[in-house]
């Protein structure tokens, strides 16, 4: 097919998209640990929820495990960006493992807030997704029974706290901004004295990527989100687009896209979750260019210049 015969396809590419500062830091921690210790370096859970990133690090010598029991005594191990319960570093220390904590600093901030609230005698209502590693890690910062999980506004009506006037709420960092606002409103309506976090718990990257999708949705016939099925922030981007009336699909790589899905699409939105590298965005655009005469337009809604410090033991001079 000649270029002239290819159907036209306009691409609206959301910005910001892709890697956030916490993901950049976590990946760099594994890379620097490999440089410092040599292979293998063990990583508890996927360092970030992206199969491509995990495969690249595995090729460099990282070994991914779900349980510290799989790590040989004395071996270096990295904890994922999602955070871990306090019992995990305690277990690592008891087994003599040299560990590095790649928990995103914004998740760590929620951990410290949870500790302070419990020390102050408040029961925490935690807004999040059951079973997500970040939720498991946050619950593991405080004594059992000190937090209650809610996933929807409907869950708020079922709450039966022992002391309704002594509550606080915190949230997972990768939630839907709109859904969370609805749940927070329900909490405040039912428990007027509930104490919220000093600042927004949903991280800047999650909020910015959702806002960028909202900014282009009205002009799109369909939208593709590059990210993993187990990536909370990527799944939320799909939902944001769908709620704006846009047909949206989550894909991990360009090869997953079926040509027929684009039938009738003249303007396609593209974004990527916070753990998806930019090279996967370019891979998708190159794949589309094989079948369409494409024009690209990046729509930027925010600038991100945040960077997080590395652990002192890995800081590069």
56 is catalytic: no
289 membership: H or E segment, kind and range: helix 278-291
CB 168 within 8 A of CB 194: yes
DSSP string, 136-204: HHHHTTS-TTSEEEE-SHHHHTT---S-TTSEEEEE-TTS-HHHHHHHHHHHHHH-TTPBPPSS-SS-H
The neighbouring-strand residues paired with 62 are: 41
Task: Tell whether the torsion through CA atoms of 307, 312, 313 and 317 is positive or negative.
Answer: positive
Q: Would you call 240 exposed, middle or buried from its count of C-beta atoms within 10 A (0-12, 13-18, 19+)?
A: buried
Question: Could you give the CA distance from residue 215 to residue 250 in angstroms, rounded to a whole number?
Answer: 18
Q: What is the CA radius of gyration of the chain?
A: 21
Question: Could you give the CA distance from residue 241 to residue 146 in angstroms, rounded to a whole number?
Answer: 35
Catalytic residue among 134, 151, 182, 304: 134
Helix, coil or strand: residue 304: coil
Task: Tell whether the torsion through CA atoms of 97, 103, 107 and 108 is positive or negative.
Answer: positive
Question: Could you give the CA distance from residue 311 to residue 317 in angstroms, rounded to a whole number?
Answer: 13
CB 224 within 8 A of CB 285: no
Task: Tell whether the torsion through CA atoms of 151, 156, 158 and 163 is positive or negative.
Answer: positive
Residue with tokens 């609230």, as numbered in its chain: 117
Cis peptide before 16 (omega within 30 of 0): yes
Q: Would you give the DSSP letter of residue 311?
A: P
Active site residues: 134
């Amino acid at each position: 097919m000649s270029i002239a015969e290819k159907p036209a396809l306009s691409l609206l590419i959301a910005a910001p998209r892709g890697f956030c500062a916490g993901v950049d830091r976590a990946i760099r921690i594994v890379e620097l640990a490999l440089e410092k210790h040599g292979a293998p370096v063990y990583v508890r859970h996927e360092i970030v929820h992206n199969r491509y990133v995990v495969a690249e690090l595995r090729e460099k010598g990282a070994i991914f495990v779900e349980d510290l029991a799989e790590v040989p005594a004395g071996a270096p191990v990295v904890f994922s960006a999602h955070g871990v319960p306090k019992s995990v570093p305690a277990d690592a220390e008891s087994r003599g493992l040299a560990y590095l904590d790649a928990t995103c600093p914004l998740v760590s901030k929620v951990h410290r807030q949870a500790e302070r609230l419990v020390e102050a005698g408040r029961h925490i209502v935690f807004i999040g997704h059951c079973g997500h590693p970040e939720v498991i890690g946050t619950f593991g910062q405080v004594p059992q029974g000190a937090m209650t999980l809610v996933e929807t506004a409907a869950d708020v009506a079922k709450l039966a706290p022992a002391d309704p006037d002594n509550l606080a709420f915190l949230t997972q960092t990768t939630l839907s901004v709109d859904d969370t606002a609805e749940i927070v409103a329900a909490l405040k309506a039912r428990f007027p004295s509930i104490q919220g976090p000093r600042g927004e718990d949903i991280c800047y990257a999650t909020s910015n990527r959702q806002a960028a999708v909202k900014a282009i949705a009205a002009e799109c016939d369909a939208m593709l989100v590059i990210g993993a099925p187990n990536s909370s922030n990527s799944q939320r981007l799909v939902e944001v687009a769908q709620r704006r009336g846009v047909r949206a699909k989550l894909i991990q790589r360009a090869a997953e896209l079926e040509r027929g899905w684009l039938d009738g699409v003249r303007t396609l939105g593209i974004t990527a979750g916070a753990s998806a590298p930019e090279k996967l965005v370019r891979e998708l655009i190159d794949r589309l260019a094989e079948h369409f005469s494409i024009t690209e337009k990046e729509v930027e809604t925010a600038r991100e210049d945040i960077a997080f410090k590395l652990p002192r033991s890995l800081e590069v001079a």
